[in-house]
Amino acid sequence: MSTALKKRKQLDQFMSHVMEPLPRGALTDFEYNRLLRDARRTAWHKGEATLRLHHARLEIHDAMLIFDRVVAEQHLTAEDEDAIYSKRDRMLANMKAATERQIRTPAPDQAAIEWKRRRMTDLYSTARISREEIAELIAADEAFLTAHPIKKGRAS
């Protein structure tokens, strides 16, 4: 048997083995990466929902205060004002804490990374997180997304 024929036979055996369908339940790399990202996405959406809840509560509180003072023309005592504004301060602190937790939650996709970048320019929405920490978190997220693609890259 010639060398070319042996190589051809070896190649045919290799190709038939490679082209066999995957056994049921076997994960491809892309499927595994998708599952990893889905786990991140679940945590991200939970944090996002919590943040939206705190933001909505603050907005409702402010709207009710404006209605009471402007439309209903209620005049508040100093004690009432103190109670209202201390409640608002607690709500604002809760919203800032939720924002910080959301920033620290691993990003599941590029849109989440962009959200984190926007928070880096607006540090008013957080109190206990620095630009450097946000930059480190973004770098870690980008490294994860690069290391775990869910689609094949385009061939050049």
Answer whether residue 117 shows pLDDT above 90.
yes
Answer whether residue 95 shows pLDDT above 50.
yes
Between the alpha carbon of residue 111 and those of residues 64, 141, 142, the distances in Å are 33, 11, 11
Amino acid 27: pLDDT: 58
Alpha helices (runs of H) in 19-130, residue ranges in sequence order: 29-66, 78-104, 110-121
Amino acid 32: pLDDT: 84
Amino acid 6: pLDDT: 83
Q: Tell me the pLDDT band of 97, cut-offs 50, 70 and 90.
A: very high
Section 34-59 average pLDDT: 94
Answer whether residue 156 shows pLDDT above 60.
no
pTM reported for the whole predicted model: 0.72
Answer whether residue 155 shows pLDDT above 60.
no
Amino acid 56: pLDDT: 97
Stretch among 16-20, 64-68, 82-86, 103-107 having the lowest mean pLDDT: 16-20
Write down the mean pLDDT value for the chain: 85
Question: How confident is the model over 73-93, as pLDDT tens digits?
Answer: 778 788 888 998 999 999 999
Domain ranges of the chain: 29-146
> 94 CB contacts (<8 Å, ≥6 apart)?
54, 57
Section 54-72 average pLDDT: 90
Q: From CA 103, how far away is CA 127, in angstroms rounded? A: 12
Q: What is the CA radius of gyration of the chain?
A: 27
